[in-house]
Amino acid sequence: MARSVLSHPRDKERLLDELERDVMSTLTELASYGADKAGGVTRLLYTEEWLAAQRALAAKMSGCGLEAEFDEVGNLFGRLQGEDAEAPAILTGSHIDTVVQGGMYDGAYGIAAGLAAVAHLKRNFGRPKRALEVVSLCEEEGSRFPMAYWGSGSIVGKRDFEQIAGLRDARGVAFSDAMTGCGFGESAGRRRSLRSVIGAFVEAHIEQGAVLETEGACIGVVEAIAGQRRLQFEVTGEANHAGTTPMRLRRDALEGASAMMQALRREALRRGDPLVATVGRLQVQPNVPNVVPGKVSFTVDARHVDGQLLARFCEWVKRTFERMADERGLRIEGRTWFREEPVPMDAGLTRQLEEACGDLAVSARRMASGAGHDAQMFAHRCRTAMLFVPSRRGISHSPEEYTEPRELAAGALVLTELLYRIGYGEERLS
């Protein structure tokens, strides 16, 4: 076997052209399912648009010579059989669902890049050593029902039908009714979503941040998906007349909260990347111009790839906020209402991904993913790697989401190379 999909560096631009054309074709087609007038895409799980998009993809997979098959929850697999039918398969892909008024790249890009890569490999190198499968995961965002990672979670056994019992969307439609309405569900007679033989999962995704753009790098090599903690604080002072209460006699809950927000930012900057800490939601009571605020509640969203450092930072936050409240004669209550541990990517596969970038002369940068992805579900079960392409101005979950076609192609090129190396090479995956 040749060392690379490129037999000579001069082939690179031609391959990029091909991949760009294929990726854009799939993305453009997918964007037509659930397109809204504002230029956005809304494709929620088990809706008409969602089903139409999955069916169009299945047709496209078949057109590329892949065996297209849905599982019982609606994940779509496009399989290129390997020489060793027993060998664990290599999966690549991402999710087909979007948020409400999302863009055309989040999720869809990983599917489009995977399909372009596997189709290219099939055309040029024929049957791989072990099966390659492009997967269009049915759901990741949790935008229709209060349940995220339904697609990848079902595959790896982290989600099951019991968990969706009783769940309804905003209109009152039951999760199970929506699912069976699309021809899926426990009794649909399709293959079980929980598959025993997955050797690896590789996900391509837009960054959803501005690090690659800012640093001028093409590819983000994801080392780990950050852990998250979400905390809720309530600061209580005393609501008072804004005219008759001298500054030094105030117990102003908003003044206290603003000092805490400043301290939070300073400390997050001091501890440095990849730690991030955000006050995203804040509410003031009574919230009228001429009354000193008596109560403020706000959230802190903190993320880090190192679970211990994240826990230590959150301890610091609680301790510091309590001290600051105390100094001001304010009361404070804090609680952690959401907690997700960091998920490291597979070290060996990540190194291979990085090497592929180097060999292809595509600029790359190791980084953490601050957002959650399907890759974090697969990582519990098989060797998993993830690559990012740049997001213009870091925008995602918005019709303004955008990545240059050439950047999309570069991501697909790296993916093609990695799939070639692990799909056609001798190395055993598990």
Contact residues for a second copy (CB under 8 A)? 207-211, 214, 226, 228, 230, 238, 240-249, 252, 254-255, 257-259, 261-262, 265, 268-269, 273-284, 287-293, 299, 301, 303, 369-372, 393-397
Residue 89: both structure tokens together: 């398969």
290 labelled ligand-binding: yes
Q: How far is the CB of 270 from a second copy (least distance, A)?
A: 10
**Is the CB of 284 or the CB of 311 nearer to a second copy?**
284
397 labelled ligand-binding: yes
For every residue of 45-57, DSSP letters joined together read: TTSHHHHHHHHHH
Angstrom distance (rounded) from CA 39 to CA 31: 9
108 contacts 116 by C-beta, under 8 angstroms: no
**Is the CB of 64 or the CB of 377 nearer to a second copy?**
377
Is 322 exposed, middle or buried (CB count within 10 Å of its CB: 0-12, 13-18, 19+)?
Answer: middle
Q: How far is the CB of 200 from a second copy (least distance, A)?
A: 24
Place of tokens 């753009």: 213
CB neighbour list of residue 293: distance below 8 Å, 6 or more residues apart:
237, 239, 252, 253, 254, 255, 284, 285, 286, 287
Q: Helix, strand, coil proportions of the chain in percent (round to 5)?
A: 40, 25, 40
Angstrom distance (rounded) from CA 245 to CA 256: 16
User: How many beta carbons lie within 10 A of that of residue 259, not counting itself?
Assistant: 16
**Is the CB of 195 or the CB of 373 nearer to a second copy?**
373
Angstrom distance (rounded) from CA 120 to CA 137: 21
Residue 52: both structure tokens together: 């139409």
190 labelled ligand-binding: no
287 labelled ligand-binding: no
Angstrom distance (rounded) from CA 222 to CA 212: 12
Q: How far is the CB of 259 from a second copy (least distance, A)?
A: 6
CB neighbour list of residue 266: distance below 8 Å, 6 or more residues apart:
none
Residue 225: both structure tokens together: 């998906």
Q: How far is the CB of 31 from a second copy (least distance, A)?
A: 21
**Is the CB of 388 or the CB of 424 nearer to a second copy?**
388
Q: How far is the CB of 118 from a second copy (least distance, A)?
A: 27
Q: How far is the CB of 284 from a second copy (least distance, A)?
A: 5
407 labelled ligand-binding: no
Q: How far is the CB of 50 from a second copy (least distance, A)?
A: 23
**Is the CB of 167 or the CB of 279 nearer to a second copy?**
279
**Is the CB of 179 or the CB of 254 nearer to a second copy?**
254
Long-range contacts of 4-8 (CB under 8 A, 24+ apart): 4/359, 4/360, 4/417, 4/420, 5/120, 5/121, 5/124, 5/125, 5/416, 5/417, 5/420, 6/360, 6/417
75 labelled ligand-binding: no
Q: How far is the CB of 222 from a second copy (least distance, A)?
A: 11
How many CA within 13 A on the CB side of residue 285? Answer: 10
* Ramachandran assignment for 47, one of left (phi > 0), alpha (psi -120 to 50 degrees), beta (any other): beta
Angstrom distance (rounded) from CA 97 to CA 293: 42
**Is the CB of 194 or the CB of 259 nearer to a second copy?**
259
Angstrom distance (rounded) from CA 262 to CA 265: 5
Q: How far is the CB of 205 from a second copy (least distance, A)?
A: 10
241 labelled ligand-binding: no
User: How many beta carbons lie within 10 A of that of residue 363, not counting itself?
Assistant: 13
303 labelled ligand-binding: yes
- Binding-site positions read 95, 106, 141, 205, 230, 290, 303, 397
- Binding-site positions for Zn(2+) read 95, 106, 141, 205, 397
- Binding-site positions for allantoate read 230, 290, 303
